[in-house]
Structure 1
Amino acid sequence: MCLRYNENHSPLLKVVYSQVKANGKTELVPLELYADGSLKRGKS
């Protein structure tokens, strides 16, 4: 298993999804949750 880290060298815990409304459409946006509590937009 390949671990991913952010710029603070914290390991990726899981990918969470956030609902975003744009132009009347609801989309799920992937966010990467890291051990230090930071979120980063995931690659879709």
Structure 2
Amino acid sequence: MLATFVHRQSQSLSMLMGMNTLAYYLQFQVVWVYKAMRQASKTAE
């Protein structure tokens, strides 16, 4: 019973880690695009 619980916990933990990594990656992408757009608008002026 306990082993099943632990296994289920580790599964959800790895899923949580994956979601965290994805969120971090998306955040990074948004920042990069935002900076690139600001740089482009500066050059356009």
The answer to whether TM tops 0.5 is no
> Which TM-score band (shorter chain)?
under 0.3
Please state which structure has a larger fraction of its residues in strand.
Answer: 1
TM-score computed with the length of structure 2 as normaliser: 0.20
Larger Rg: 2
Higher relative contact order (CA 8 A, sep 6+): 1
Please state which structure has a larger fraction of its residues in helix.
Answer: 2
